[in-house]
Amino acid sequence: MSTSFHFYEPRQGHGLPHDPFNAIVGPRPIGWISSRDKAGILNLAPYSFFNAFNYVPPIVGFASIGWKDSVRNIEETGEFCWNLATRPLAGQMNQTCAAVPPETDEFALSGLTPAPSRTVGVPRVLESPVSMECRLSQLIQLQGADGGKVPTWLVLGEVVGVHIDRALLKDGVYDTAAAQPILRGGGPADYFTIGPEQLFRMFRPQL
Ligand SMILES: Cc1cc2nc3c(=O)[nH]c(=O)nc-3n(C[C@H](O)[C@H](O)[C@H](O)COP(=O)(O)O)c2cc1C
């Protein structure tokens, strides 16, 4: 147990060369979000402030720092898809974060193929081994502890359809590591991926 801790209050600054927040709360799964605007123009962008929040019904969510095209589209149509970003797709995932005008289709920009969804009008990424079709359930503007509004929006969606590459189902059980998901660390460029060597099992205590 260490007796020396760096302590900081974020509103007063972290006092370190880089803000450690992202590196500490990490690695984070990536919400690779496809959406479509009213006119039908497609959009694809990565969001690492992303996670799952509920089992039944399954709910996923991501936070957009600023009112970005993905949020605007999802507010307009009420739909989006989450696509799994994997090690083989890392370079193309990165291309889709480019700050391009709303009329630019990031599928075309990154050489990815839009595949029709079953339950929503927004396409998924064909090359991704797992996609979830989602319907917007809540769109929440974040606020600080003082109640002051923050220019960040949390987009929550109910998962209404799931596509899984059968190669990732071993005897019907989804193999997380086999998908080679990529996860975001801190700093400008840190990512992690996982393999079977990171797996350990621990069951809950039986009372
Ligand atoms: C791995 C990765 C994770 C990102 N996570 C976020 C995030 O959580 N929130 C956010 O607002 N932007 C995030 N960005 C930046 C957005 O992807 C970028 O602003 C993008 O242009 C937004 O696209 P859109 O305007 O088409 O929605 C991330 C970028 C990368 C490469």
144-187 pLDDT tens trace: 999 999 999 999 999 999 999 999 999 999 999 999 999 999 99
Q: Indicate whether residue 96 lines ligand 1 (CB < 6 A).
A: no
- Arithmetic mean of pLDDT, 29-58: 97
64 CA distance to ligand 1 middle (Å): 7
Q: What pLDDT sits at residue 207?
A: 81
159 CA distance to ligand 1 middle (Å): 21
- Kindly tell me if the per-residue pLDDT of 2 is higher than 90: no
45 CA distance to ligand 1 middle (Å): 6
State how far the Cα of 6 lies from the Cα of 11, in Å rounded to an integer.
15
Q: What pLDDT sits at residue 67?
A: 98
- Arithmetic mean of pLDDT, 58-86: 98
**Helix intervals (H) in 64-128:** 69-77, 90-95, 106-110
Q: What pLDDT sits at residue 103?
A: 86
Q: What pLDDT sits at residue 102?
A: 84
46 CA distance to ligand 1 middle (Å): 5
Per DSSP, the three-state class of 76 is helix
97-152 pLDDT tens trace: 998 888 889 999 999 999 999 999 999 999 999 999 999 999 999 999 999 999 99
Q: Indicate whether residue 178 lines ligand 1 (CB < 6 A).
A: no
- Kindly tell me if the per-residue pLDDT of 1 is higher than 90: no
Atom of ligand 1 nearest to the CA of 94: 31
Tell me the pTM. 0.97
Across the chain, what does the average pLDDT equal? 97
**Helix intervals (H) in 40-177:** 69-77, 90-95, 106-110
Q: What pLDDT sits at residue 172?
A: 97
Q: What pLDDT sits at residue 182?
A: 98
- Residue found by looking up tokens 């503007």 in the block: 141
Structural domains in the chain plus CATH codes: 27-196 (2.30.110.10)
Burial 175-186 (b: 16+ CB within 10 A, else e): eeebbbbbbbbb
Biggest CA–CA distance in the chain, Å, is 59
Using pLDDT thresholds of 50, 70 and 90, give the confidence band for residue 28: very high
- Kindly tell me if the per-residue pLDDT of 82 is higher than 90: yes
Q: Indicate whether residue 169 lines ligand 1 (CB < 6 A).
A: no
Percent of the chain, pLDDT > 70?
Answer: 100
Probe target for ligand 1 pocket from 22, 33, 43, 47, with the most ligand atoms within 8 Å of CB: 47
